[in-house]
A and B are shown apart, each in its own frame.
Chain A
Amino acid sequence: MRFGVLALAVALLGFGLAAATDKPDHWWQPGEGRTFPAKLEYENEGGTLRLLLEGGPMETKGHPFFEPIGPNGRACVTCHQPANAMSLAVPDVQRQWTRNGAKDPLFAAVDGSNCPSLPQGDRASHSLLLDHGLIRIARPWPVKGADFAIEVVRDPSTCNLDPVWGIKSKNPHISVFRRPRPVANFKFIEAMGFAYDPKAGMPLALDPETNKPVAGNLMADGRVPTLTAQMRDAAATHLAFTRNLDAGDIARILDFERRLFVAQQRDSSGTMLDADGAEGGPMKLLVSAPGRLGSQGTPVWSEFEAWEKLPEAEKAKLPKEVREFRDSVARGARVFRDKTFLITDSAGINSPVGFGNPVRNSCVFCHNMSYMGMDVAPGQVDLGTTNLPFADPQPYLPLFRVTCKGKPHPHYGRVIYTHDPGYALTTGKCADVGRITLQTLRGLSARAPYFSNGSAKDLRGVIDYYDRRYSIGYTEQEKRDLVNLMRAL
Chain B
Amino acid sequence: MKALVLLFALVAADAREAVRFVACPVYRDTDAGKKSGCWLAEDPASGVRYDITSSPTKADWNHAVLVEGFVAQGQSDPCGGVVLDPVRVSVLEQGCTRHMLPAEGFPGRKFALPKRNVRPLYEERTKPAQPFAARTFVIPFDHGSSFVTYQLSDYYLDAAINYALDVQPATVTITGHAATRRERVSGFDLSEPRALAKARADAMARAFQLRGVTVARVATGRESSSADEAFDGLIAPSLRRVEISIEPKQ
Taking the closest CB of chain B, its distance from the CB of A384, in whole angstroms, is: 15
Docked-complex contact A360 and B37, CB < 8 angstroms: yes
Docked-complex contact A352 and B147, CB < 8 angstroms: yes
CA distance A362 to B33 in the complex (A): 9
CA distance A355 to B36 in the complex (A): 11
Within 8 Å of chain B (Cβ to Cβ): is A198?
Answer: yes
Residue of chain B at shortest CB distance from A341: B31
CA distance A340 to B110 in the complex (A): 13
Q: Which residues on the B side are within 8 Å of A201 (C-beta)?
A: 147-150, 153-154, 203
If over half of A's interface residues share one DSSP class (helix, strand or loop), that class is named, otherwise mixed; here it is loop
Within 8 Å of chain B (Cβ to Cβ): is A292?
Answer: yes
Q: What is the size category of the interface that chain A forms with chain B?
A: 35 or more
Q: Which residues on the B side are within 8 Å of A291 (C-beta)?
A: 120-122
Within 8 Å of chain B (Cβ to Cβ): is A95?
Answer: no
Within 8 Å of chain A (Cβ to Cβ): is B60?
Answer: yes
Within 8 Å of chain A (Cβ to Cβ): is B132?
Answer: no
Q: Which residues on the A side are within 8 Å of B148 (C-beta)?
A: 196, 201-202
Docked-complex contact A354 and B154, CB < 8 angstroms: no
Q: Which of B84-118 contact A (CB under 8 A)?
A: 91, 93, 100, 118
Docked-complex contact B61 and A196, CB < 8 angstroms: no
Docked-complex contact A340 and B31, CB < 8 angstroms: yes
Within 8 Å of chain B (Cβ to Cβ): is A289?
Answer: yes
Residue in B27, B60, B121 whose CB lies within 8 Å of A194? B121
Q: Which residues on the B side are within 8 Å of A340 (C-beta)?
A: 31, 33-34
Docked-complex contact B35 and A361, CB < 8 angstroms: yes
Docked-complex contact B61 and A289, CB < 8 angstroms: no
Residue in A293, A351, A353, A360 whose CB lies within 8 Å of B31? A360
Q: Which of B26-54 contact A (CB under 8 A)?
A: 27, 29, 31, 33-37, 39
Taking the closest CB of chain A, its distance from the CB of B129, in whole angstroms, is: 23
Within 8 Å of chain A (Cβ to Cβ): is B249?
Answer: no
Q: Which of A347-379 contact B (CB under 8 A)?
A: 350-362, 365, 376
Contacts A201-B148, A203-B211; A196 near B158 (Cβ below 8 A) = yes
Contacts A205-B210, A356-B39, A362-B34; A196 near B118 (Cβ below 8 A) = yes
Within 8 Å of chain B (Cβ to Cβ): is A91?
Answer: no
Within 8 Å of chain A (Cβ to Cβ): is B190?
Answer: no
Within 8 Å of chain A (Cβ to Cβ): is B206?
Answer: yes
Docked-complex contact A358 and B61, CB < 8 angstroms: yes
Docked-complex contact B207 and A202, CB < 8 angstroms: yes
Other CB < 8 Å A-B pairs besides A194-B120, A293-B120, A360-B35, 6 of them?
A201-B150, A202-B206, A289-B122, A354-B57, A355-B58, A359-B35
What are 6 residue pairs bridging A and B, where the CB atoms are less than 8 Å apart in the complex?
A195-B118, A195-B158, A203-B210, A342-B29, A354-B58, A358-B27
